[in-house]
Amino acid sequence: MNSVVCIAQVPDTEARIKIAAGGRRIDEAGLKFIVSPYDEFALEEAIRVKEAKGGDVTVISFGPDRAQQALRECLARGATQALHIKGEVADADSLGIAKVLAAAIKSTPHDLVFFGKQGVGTDNSLVGPMVAELLGYPQVNVVTHLEVGDGKATAHREIEGAEEIIEAALPAVITAQKGLNEPRYASLKGIMAAKKITIETKSVADLGLQDSDIFNQRVTTVAIELPPEKKGGRKIDGADPAAAAKEILKYIREEAKVL
C-alpha cells in the first residue's frame, strides 16, 4: 500500500511576519520555515498505513531550495522517499500548485494521496480537492479517523453534532484534520537514516508542464497587509471593586462606545 504525502513548507507559526517591498509578498529574510502543521497529521497517517500494510511513503513538495529541509524532516520521521519539485511556489496560485502536484503524483506509485486540510498561513484548503479533481480520484476532506482495507478507505469526519463515515475506492485523496493521530517526533535513528536517502529533484518542465500552466495567476494577491497594531491594555486599580466596576462601565460607554 503506497502513499504520497504532499508537504507545504510554511513560515513558522510563531514568526513575526514582515511585508516585502511591493506589498504583495512576505519578506523571507531571516524567516524560519516549518512543515505545515496539518501535513504532520497527513504524514503520520501515511507512516501508520505503511507500518500496518507495507509499501512506501513518498513526500512531495513544490517550492524553492529550502523545501528540501522540510522533506528531510519528513524522511527523518519515517517517509521512505522524497521528491522536490523546484519552483517559485509563491508566484503560483492554488490551481497552479495543484497541477504541479498532480503531475508529480502520476509518476509516483500510490494507492492513497494525503494532504493537510489546509496550508497554515495561506489557509486556502484548495490544493488537495483540486488535485483530486485533476486526477479524477474520490476525495474525503477534513478526516479525523481512517481505516484502509482491500481497495477501499473508510474515513470518519466530524460534522455538526455528529460523525460522518465515508467509504471511497482507492486510489483516493484524503485531507487530514487535527486529531487524526498524534504525529511522532523524528528519532535520532530516523535522522541518521534520512541523511542517506537521496531527495529526487525535478523541474516543472521535467513533469511536462510549462511555466504558463502554473503561473497563469487566475487569482493574484494584490496586497498583503498586517493587522493594525494592538493598543496597549489599561489596568484599572481593583482595590475597591465597586469603584473599579464604575470605571470599567465608564470606559465601555465613553471611550470604547460599545454600550
Ligand X SMILES: Cc1cc2nc3c(=O)[nH]c(=O)nc-3n(C[C@H](O)[C@H](O)[C@H](O)COP(=O)(O)OP(=O)(O)OC[C@H]3O[C@@H](n4cnc5c(N)ncnc54)[C@H](O)[C@@H]3O)c2cc1C
Binding site for ligand X (CB under 6 A): 6-9, 25-26, 28, 36, 38-39, 60-64, 67, 89-90, 94, 97, 101, 115-116, 118-119, 122-128
**139 forms bridges with which residues in the sheet?**
173
Q: Which is nearer to ligand X, 206 or 247 (CB)?
A: 206
CB of 114 to ligand X, least distance (A): 7
Which residue of this chain has its Cβ atom nearest to ligand X in the complex? 116
For residue 103, the minimal CB distance to ligand X (Å) is 12
- CB neighbours of residue 203 within 10 Å: 10
Q: Is 26 exposed, middle or buried (0-12, 13-18, 19+ CB in 10 A)?
A: middle
Closest distance between ligand X and the C-beta of residue 145, in Å? 18
CB 244 within 8 A of CB 251: no
Closest Cα to residue 56, out of 114, 9, 15, 99?
114
Q: State the nearest-atom distance from the C-beta of 12 to ligand X, in Å.
A: 12
Of the two residues 208 and 246, which places its CB atom closer to ligand X in the complex?
Answer: 208
Identify the H or E element spanning 130.
helix 127-135
C-alpha 124/C-alpha 176 separation (Å) is 14
Nearer to ligand X, 187 or 221 (CB): 221
